[in-house]
Structure 1
Amino acid sequence: MQSRLRVLIIIFTILIMGIIGKAFYEQIIMGPTYASKSLEIRTKQFSAEEYVRGEILDRNGISLTDATYRPTVVIFPKFVSEPEGLLARLKMELPQISLSDKAIKPYFKNNTKIYPEPFIIRVENNIDFLSKVSAWNEPGIAILPYKSRYGLDSLAVHLIGYMGFKENGHEPQGMTGIEGRFDALLKGSRTEKIITPITDARNSILNGLGFRLIDLGKDEKRTDIFLTIDSRIQKIAEDVLVENSIIKGSVVVLDIDTGNILAGATRPIYDQNNLDNTMGFKDNQIERTIDYKVYPGSIFKVITAAAALEKGVVTLDTKFICTGSSSDFRVKCPREHGEITFSQAMEQSCNVTFVQVGLSLGRQVLEEFIIEKFGFNPIENKTFDSSAAIAHGIIGQEIFEVTPLEIANMMATIARDGYHQEIMDPWKSRLVMAMRNKQIMENYIEIPEYKQIYSRDTAQKLKEVLTATNQRGSGRRAWIEGYGSAGKTGTPQANELGEYMAWYTGYAPIEKPKYAVAVLIEEIEGLTKGDLQGGYHAGPIFKEILERVLNIVE
């Protein structure tokens, strides 16, 4: 018993001596060293930019990415004492922001570095929440100036594109749009501002100091890209699509003088800051203005009219008989027009009349105008190899598919009295205006040469009949009071299920035309696709956009 007690006393004595020795070492031997190191601030640098890249700007120098450093909630997981509690508190305070466990937990769980990458929560203009976070005084969470790549309400998202990782890639890069096509030029070599958490020798944030922002100056490797887009017109186009409950569709606005794209709006859209929740549906990813092709429908009659007037096959007063259908080719009109002039046939979009005119022109003339002059290419393995093919092709079915940009370009040609511009590579020749590197601006765009593809006499007749179409014909809902407008409607069949698309293309003003527009509507909330009509649904979109542009932007 005594020997066992003796052993316990010895063990206890050793433990006490160890504790005393440790305290002596820490306080007496190492105390001065720790005191010195606690004053020696150690920092770790984090970029205050989401991506090290040049800006993408509109024609007036307004950023279409996000050039502003905004107050942002920045969480440094290493310094957070209770991640689960913090996450629960954030969810409660910010129910409108998606903060899923799947999104945020990996930042706390998987990153074992001393200074893992921060987690960013964007809460622009939420002053109450920012004040609450500041009052929490939670180590590892701070309100800091941070520049996200994209704003919360970004414009032209499909044209700008988004950032991501390619398969087996370790560095973020541009995936689509301008981001993808000009990735190498946009990439920079370093961040321009850094965030530094200020810590002592034991990696604890120093009270009263926390974090600071350091400006490193301009990164001269990155290139800024200026687009031809006018952000004012772009916003108008996007707003009008939303206000009219367009689920699927697009708008292109061209500068008639230069052929440049001033706006390219697409619905539906995705959120560049929340790709996981908005990129799941294929429709969200599709850019519908430059590369997206569908049947043109009756807007293609404009080319047949140009060919017929130029070749002298018809005059505006040439008379036809419309019985309401052409049974040989399964072509119908909405109603029987009876005796009708060529001008009236354009105004009322009479299919039967245009089939007769197209057959009179023949394959060679149609291909000369559609393919060689206006630059439209047929669908692979489709040609005007029969009368039936001609009948369907000239009313915009089966033979050709077109993009909204191509259609707007066609209308710009008409507004310029037949002077046509080839599109070439639209992402470069119609959308990028200039580049800036090391503060040096260089013009990038070269205006394509104009080529007159029909006479001024034909041009005047064509403009006359397209103006009449808007004054009293199928395009009357696109007429703009005080400015006038000219254009053409189209309602092509989308598929064999009886579904349709709605087209409208036109220009304004009548005197000294400035803007050419193409509107394509594929789906409207609350309306079956079988009820879509170009004049009723796409025409008013054209009108609303250009009324605002002419009254606000001009």
Structure 2
Amino acid sequence: MFLMLFLILLLFAGIFGKLFWIQIAATESYSSRGINLVKNSVVQRQRALVLESGRGEILDRNLQPLTGNIVKALVAFPINSEFAMNGQEVSQLARILKTNKESWLSFARNLKEPQVWGTQDGGKALSLSSQQVKEIDRLGLANIKVVEMEDRYPTGMTARQLIGFIGQNPDRVMQLYGSDLEKGRLALTSKIGGAGLEKSFDAWLRGVGETSISYFTDAGKRPLAGLDARMIAPDNSFYPVKLITTLDSHVQQQIEALMDKLNIREGAAVVQEAAQGDVIAMASRPNYNPLQVDLASNNWSNYAIKATAPGSIFKTIVAAAALDEKVVTPTETFDCEGALGKYGFTCWRKDGHGPLTLEEGYAQSCNIVFANVMRRLTATQLEKYADKLGVLNEVGWTGKTDTRDAFEQFDSEERGQLFAAHTPENDEGVLMQTAIGQRDVRMTPLQASNMVVTLLNDGKGFTPRVVKEIQYQTGREMEAFPVKSLASDDGKISAATSRTLLNWMREVVTEGTGQSLQGAKWKLAGKSGTAQIQNGNQEKVNQWFIGYGPVETPRYAVSVVIKNTDPTESNKAIPLFKGIMDILASQGLSNSK
């Protein structure tokens, strides 16, 4: 009996000792894994909600925000029912929020963690007016709080495909940020850049931590005195950084509105400064919601940097080769009867143009003229001039930075192409199709507009920037991306040929296929293009126009493409080009920015 009593006392002493050790002696580091019980007990009672991701802002050239608007939002916390609102308070709150009582009660009953009003069905936080905030504060309710919250992708934001999106990608987190994972600075579920500038500049944009609001309760979900709601934010005056782009958000917005007005289902537009090639606007359609990205769809893809068949705008390269190689004289004529007589090769004008010089053939976009000119050039020569005009490789800004050995500003920019892998390059029929921008030829809208910039600078090309610099939150420069020339192993085309082609582009508008541009606010110059393509079993066309304006003192190069249109549809590329130039003419934009 005594032995049994002794064993029971010994057992209780052991349990008491264990509890003493867990609750008092070893609360900061329990077990061989060093678990902090105090910290974890608090975490279990903490209900936190991220208000700001800590990601850097993306701004336009005038420092207007493209991402990250700050809005006033209502947060509700799941706490003990004794702190819940009574019927009168619910009615008052519903009135302030411009909803009904049933909707609020349905939202509040299902709370398991802090949630922002408006996000219950996957929506966005509802932005509160200053009057709504005052009325909510007067209610003095324990389970709700008005907070400032980041709206990363505001309704109506522009340049969505260029900016891209953020999302969860555990594999990529492990691949790129393994050391941050080990140090606890990042979790596998952390959102990182998935496309666009968000992806290419992710290393800078990630920041140093989130801003969150935490609500502390006891085991009965009763608010803890003095610990009810607390803001937790990184204490670093240098972050988040500011990504200063070359974009003009006002111009970008107007261009996108114009594309929607013209009902452009699929296509892109690029505006560059003539002086050094900076991108003023880059728009892509169809549009998409960066908060609900369907990766199986291509609507989030930036068509401005995706290669597609260029059609007759490619004749600019053939003309440059013919002029610099002097294979054609200025007065020489080529007879167009509507068909070449071989390879099934025809002109768009079935009854023919009659005798035309190369200059006239360019203005009228005559296929027969360029087929005959191509007979005097080789595939190697054509490839050399395509390289000189920057349409074979990626043209976007690349180079070293203070922190990166190799860096590309444009995410997933595609190369151009003359010939496919197994195409017989020296076959005459192949070369003729290539000369008019058909068969295997591919070009991006960015390459096309940058080709015009190259001509405007006497054959000197630039690598287009879309980001000028990165600044700390204090305004101090963190990283700069200087203007850079576009290097080509084949050198550049001559200044004389550049000026000749620019003059020929004027004639396209005054006498050729672009005469409908004569009513624009500026005098314009350019080149049209229509490329026949196959989309499954259907024949479609790409409609192009590239050019510059104003003619007297060129300030901007523009390229537009409308993809996969029905051959019977009216041309929308020229109206879009004209509309963009009219927008630019109305802005009074300065090249000095």
Give the TM-score, by structure 2 length: 0.72
Structure-2 residue corresponding to 1:340:
356
Identical pairs, percent = 27
Rounded Cα–Cα distance in structure 1 between residues aligned with 2:521 and 2:114: 61
Unmatched tracts of structure 1, length 5 or more: 1-42, 424-428
Letter of the 2:354 counterpart: G
Deviates more, 1:212-221 or 1:384-393: 212-221
What is the count of residue pairs matched by the alignment?
Answer: 481
Query: How far 1:540 sits from its partner (Å)?
Result: 1.2
Structure-1 residue corresponding to 2:458:
417
User: Superposition pairs for residues 466-477 of structure 1, below 5 Å?
Assistant: 466-477=505-516
Deviates more, 1:211-220 or 1:501-510: 211-220
Query: How far 1:243 sits from its partner (Å)?
Result: 1.4
Structure-1 residue corresponding to 2:386:
370
Letter of the 1:146 counterpart: M
Letter of the 2:566 counterpart: K
Letter of the 2:125 counterpart: R
Greater share of residues in helix = 1
Q: CA separation of 1:312/1:242 partners in 2, compared to 1, >3 Å: closer, same or farther? A: same
Which of 314, 329, 332 is the aligned partner of 1:300? 314
Query: How far 1:312 sits from its partner (Å)?
Result: 2.1
Rounded Cα–Cα distance in structure 2 between residues aligned with 1:140 and 1:550: 54
Q: CA separation of 1:360/1:214 partners in 2, compared to 1, >3 Å: closer, same or farther? A: same
Query: How far 1:347 sits from its partner (Å)?
Result: 1.3
Q: CA separation of 1:442/1:52 partners in 2, compared to 1, >3 Å: closer, same or farther? A: closer
Q: CA separation of 1:383/1:152 partners in 2, compared to 1, >3 Å: closer, same or farther? A: farther
User: Superposition pairs for residues 158-237 of structure 1, below 5 Å?
Assistant: 158-167=161-170, 169-191=188-210, 193-197=211-215, 203-204=221-222, 218=236, 220-237=238-255
Letter of the 1:332 counterpart: T
Task: Report SS of the residue matched to 1:283.
Answer: coil
Task: Report SS of the residue matched to 2:506.
Answer: helix
Rounded Cα–Cα distance in structure 1 between residues aligned with 2:143 and 2:264: 44
User: Superposition pairs for residues 71-150 of structure 1, below 5 Å?
Assistant: 71-78=72-79, 108=110, 111=112, 116=114, 118=116, 120=119, 121-124=124-127, 140-150=143-153
Q: CA separation of 1:296/1:200 partners in 2, compared to 1, >3 Å: closer, same or farther? A: same
Which of 535, 540, 543 is the aligned partner of 1:499? 540
CA-to-aligned-CA distance 1:141-195 (integer Å, 9 cap, x gap): 444321121211111111111111114632111111111122222112223x543
Structure-2 residue corresponding to 1:320:
334
Structure-2 residue corresponding to 1:273:
291
Q: CA separation of 1:402/1:54 partners in 2, compared to 1, >3 Å: closer, same or farther? A: same
Letter of the 1:74 counterpart: V
Rounded Cα–Cα distance in structure 2 between residues aligned with 1:156 and 1:450: 25
Task: Report SS of the residue matched to 2:513.
Answer: coil
CA contact (8 A) 1:162 1:177 kept: yes
Query: How far 1:537 sits from its partner (Å)?
Result: 1.3
Query: How far 1:59 sits from its partner (Å)?
Result: 2.0
Structure-2 residue corresponding to 1:403:
444
Deviates more, 1:253-262 or 1:447-456: 447-456
Letter of the 2:506 counterpart: T
Structure-1 residue corresponding to 2:302:
287
- What is the Cα-based RMSD across aligned positions, in Å? 3.7
Q: CA separation of 1:162/1:78 partners in 2, compared to 1, >3 Å: closer, same or farther? A: farther
Give the TM-score, by structure 1 length: 0.76
Rounded Cα–Cα distance in structure 2 between residues aligned with 1:466 and 1:294: 22
Rounded Cα–Cα distance in structure 2 between residues aligned with 1:380 and 1:334: 25
Query: How far 1:295 sits from its partner (Å)?
Result: 0.7
Structure-1 residue corresponding to 2:523:
484
CA contact (8 A) 2:51 2:213 kept: no
Q: CA separation of 1:334/1:438 partners in 2, compared to 1, >3 Å: closer, same or farther? A: closer
Task: Report SS of the residue matched to 1:522.
Answer: strand
Letter of the 1:49 counterpart: L
Q: CA separation of 1:152/1:82 partners in 2, compared to 1, >3 Å: closer, same or farther? A: farther
Q: CA separation of 1:513/1:480 partners in 2, compared to 1, >3 Å: closer, same or farther? A: farther
Rounded Cα–Cα distance in structure 1 between residues aligned with 2:551 and 2:282: 23
Rounded Cα–Cα distance in structure 1 between residues aligned with 2:354 and 2:480: 54
Letter of the 1:367 counterpart: E
Q: CA separation of 1:268/1:129 partners in 2, compared to 1, >3 Å: closer, same or farther? A: farther
Structure-1 residue corresponding to 2:483:
447
Structure-2 residue corresponding to 1:243:
261
Deviates more, 1:138-147 or 1:313-322: 138-147
Which of 517, 538, 550 is the aligned partner of 2:558? 517
Letter of the 2:467 counterpart: V
